[in-house]
């Protein structure tokens, strides 16, 4: 379950609460009982580590993989004559 951060606009208390994603937002401050307890927007609490598509496609910086050399097209399979979609000309 995600952790949500709330702050009371009356007394200023700031707390984290574990709630289901579809749960209704809390509205009552646990400290002063004010009805001005609002959910804050904050950054995600996880970090992607290791290798994977996100490291090569979305991470800032240089390329994680070396460019490959262009190889020759494979010889046409028997019977296709090389004029099919699997053997670009």
Per-residue model confidence as pLDDT tens digits over 33-89: 999 999 998 776 666 676 766 556 665 655 555 555 555 655 655 556 656 666 565
Determine if the pTM surpasses 0.85: no
State the residue range of the domain holding 16. Answer: 1-42
- Has residue 86 been placed in a domain? no
- Has residue 34 been placed in a domain? yes
- The 8 Å CB, 24+ separation contacts for 42-49 are 42/5, 45/3
- Has residue 87 been placed in a domain? no
Please count the structural domains in the chain.
1
Distance CA 24, CA 22 (A): 7
CATH code, domain carrying 2: 2.20.28
- Has residue 7 been placed in a domain? yes
- Has residue 88 been placed in a domain? no
- Has residue 48 been placed in a domain? no
């Amino acid at each position: 379950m995600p952790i949500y951060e709330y702050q009371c606009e009356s007394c200023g208390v700031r707390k984290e609460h574990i709630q289901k994603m579809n749960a209704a937002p809390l509205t009552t401050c646990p400290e002063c009982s004010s009805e001005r307890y609002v959910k804050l927007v904050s950054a995600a609490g996880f970090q992607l580590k290791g290798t994977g598509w996100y490291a090569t496609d979305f991470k800032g910086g240089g390329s994680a993989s070396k460019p490959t050399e262009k190889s020759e097209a494979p010889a046409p399979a028997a019977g296709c004559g090389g004029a099919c979609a699997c053997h670009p000309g």
